[in-house]
Chain A
Amino acid sequence: MNGQAWLLLLDGAWTTLWISGTAIAIGVVLGLGVALLRMARIPFLDQLLVVYVSLARATPLVTLVLFIFLSAPTLGLNLDRNTAAILALTLNTAAFNAEVWRAAFLSFSREQREAALACGMTDRLFFRRIMLPQMVTTSLPGLVNEMSFIIKSSPAIAVIGIVDLTRVTNRITAVTYEPLPPILAAGLLYMLIVGVLIKLQAIAERKANRLAM
């Protein structure tokens, strides 16, 4: 592989990173929002969210990417490839994240809330200062795990013509007729990205253990 091929690979890696990264950033917050709304048990909305979470978790990513990209014009939406890809990844990862957040909610101890109220805190203050920081810590291992999943599933976005880190290897092979070097290099780059996340997860787990008393 020459320098040109490496530049193409890095370009593909960047595409994978920014599209997944955007979906992850929105998906973490959206997942928290879904979990919060579900904890509020608002009739009808709650059922709607259950359907969303089940559907999004059950649909293969490739199918979801295709569906969003192809159905958007019918719905009168003008989505470019990248927006469609980000939307699909976000809808998928947010559903998984919502379950991680919800587990953190459900396992939170009532006693800490009582201690906060007894000290004169309002429920809002309790949520912001006591509950949310701990939920972030306990959810982080699960959230980071989901982040590396979504990065590893992101080649699905190639189905609508986005040249990501996996797709770009085909392009390089088309010129060099040597498929092995680019795919090995791509594998290395995936390992680097996911390796950083796994490191982050280890740190998150160590921090989460502090909360288990």
Chain B
Amino acid sequence: MSDVPAVRIERLSKSFGGVEVLRDIELTVNKGEVVSVLGSSGSGKSTLLRCINWLEEPDRGSIHIAGQRIGIDASGRKMRNKELAALRARTGMVFQGFNLWPHLTVLHNVMESPVQVKGMRKDEARRIALELLEKVGMVEKADAYPYTLSGGQKQRVAIARALAMSPEVILFDEPTSALDPERVGEVLQVMKNLSAEGYTMIVVTHEMEFARAVSDQVVFLEKGLLIEKSDPETFFTNPASERVRRFLELA
């Protein structure tokens, strides 16, 4: 069913210790779409992303991944770890700090989840991992350990690792914020290629040019509220909200 959205978020709210960081967020991401999430720091962008794969447990609202609700099962109970893990496997995540597993080579970082979580045969997982490393331009480093790589290289491996589970959606949490300026381009280029290939992506970022060039939707969060949601052209040239206008002037 191609009309089931990759991600559907309804009335999502989340508080930390009495402080509301997300309030009644509504967002639908269709298959093949790229959605950029903008906003100043502390606006709830990362929390929103981390609720989608339930790394943070929302207080209210619902999240569906390709039509399946995550976190709460059909009878309204909280999912057990195993069920939750199975649904998380349908999303991929790329972190600001890469979070590669340092005891595994590049190849094995990418192969680990397909083999251990999906039970894929090793030769099959290796073939797919090498294809993905080719895609992110890291195949010649397949046998290297993460500590030998630059930040940009680590992040490209992390992207390949996220792709290895064939996720319905890839969540990018400020993927270029921890990189040296000259390394940002290589990661953004990989992400552009992915969007051209039709991957569904939700990207929390401060890279305005990327958001404008690649996104299908741009959303803006302010103090936990989603205050603007539009196509990139409208967002960057004629935003509805005064707050976004000021944000763009300063950016």
Q: Which of B88, B103, B165 contacts A211 (CB 8 A)?
A: B103
Chain A residue total in the interface (Cβ 8 A): 23
Contact A119 B147, CB 8 Å, known A111-B99, A133-B103, A210-B102: no
Interface class of chain A by DSSP: helix
When C-beta atoms are compared, the residue in chain A nearest to B146 turns out to be A213
Let me know if B102 and A118 touch, CB within 8 A: no
Are B95 and A114 in touch, CB under 8 angstroms? Answer: yes
The proximity string for A residues 109-137 relative to B, scoring 1 for CB distances below 8 Å and 0 otherwise, is 10110111111111101000110011001
> Are B147 and A125 in contact (CB-based, < 8 A)?
no
Question: Are A134 and B55 in contact, CB atoms less than 8 angstroms apart?
Answer: no
A81-120 vs B: 1/0 string, CB under 8 Å? 0000000000000000000000000000101101111111
A169 to nearest B CB, angstroms?
A: 44
8 Å CB contact of B102 from A114, A120, A129, A213: A213
Could you mark each residue 98-133 of chain B with 1 if its beta carbon is under 8 Å from any beta carbon of chain A, else 0?
011111000000001100111000000000000000
Please give, as numbers and ranges, the residues of chain A lying within 8 Å of B214 by CB-CB distance: none
Known: A119-B161, A120-B86. Is A125-B99 also a contact (CB below 8 A)? no
- Check: A175 CB closer than 8 A to any chain B CB: no
* CB atoms of A210 and B103 under 8 A apart: yes
Please name the residue on chain A nearest to B99 by beta carbon. A115
Q: Are B113 and A119 in contact (CB under 8 A)?
A: yes
Expressed in whole angstroms, the Cα–Cα distance for A117 and B88 within the complex equals 7
Shortest CB-to-CB span from A211 to chain B, Å, is 5
Give Cα A210 to B161, complex, Å.
20
Q: Is A212 an interface residue (CB 8 A)?
A: yes
Contacts of A211 in B (CB 8 A): 102-103, 147
The answer to whether A125 touches B91, judged by C-beta atoms less than 8 angstroms apart, is no
CB distance from A18 to the nearest CB of B (A): 32
* Contact for B82 among A122, A129, A134, CB less than 8 A: A122
- Determine whether the beta carbon of A120 is less than 8 Å from that of B101: no
A212 contacts across to B, CB distance below 8 A? 102, 147
Whether A125 and B95, one on each chain, are in contact in the complex, defined by CB atoms closer than 8 angstroms, is no
- With A115-B93, A115-B95 in contact, do A121 and B103 touch (Cβ < 8 Å)? no
Measured CB to CB, the closest approach of chain A to B215, in angstroms, equals 22
Complex interface: chain A residues within 8 A of B118 (CB): 120
In the complex, whether B200 has a CB less than 8 A from a CB of chain A is no
Chain B residues whose C-beta falls within 8 Å of the C-beta of A111 in the assembled complex: 95, 97, 99
Contact B95 A121 (CB under 8 A): no
Whether the pair B55, A118 counts as a contact (CB closer than 8 A) is yes
A134 touches B103 (CB 8 A): yes
B81 interface residue per 8 A CB criterion: yes
Q: Is the CB of A121 within 8 A of B99?
A: no
**A125-B117, A210-B147 known; A119 and B165 CB under 8 Å?**
yes
Given A125-B117, A213-B146, A213-B147, A118–B103 Cβ distance below 8 Å? no
Q: Give 16 new A-B contacts, CB below 8 A, not counting A118-B55, A119-B117, A125-B116.
A: A112-B99, A114-B99, A115-B100, A117-B85, A117-B88, A120-B88, A121-B116, A122-B85, A130-B112, A137-B103, A210-B145, A211-B102, A211-B147, A213-B102, A213-B146, A213-B147
Task: Supply 12 A–B pairs (Cβ within 8 Å), ascending by A.
Answer: A111-B99, A114-B95, A115-B101, A120-B113, A120-B118, A120-B165, A122-B81, A130-B112, A210-B147, A211-B147, A212-B147, A213-B146
B contact set with A: CB distance below 8 Å = 53, 55, 81-82, 85-86, 88-93, 95, 97, 99-103, 112-113, 116-118, 145-147, 158, 161-162, 165, 171
Nearest 8 A-B pairs (CB), nearest first? Answer: A120-B89, A115-B99, A118-B93, A119-B113, A111-B99, A120-B117, A211-B102, A213-B147
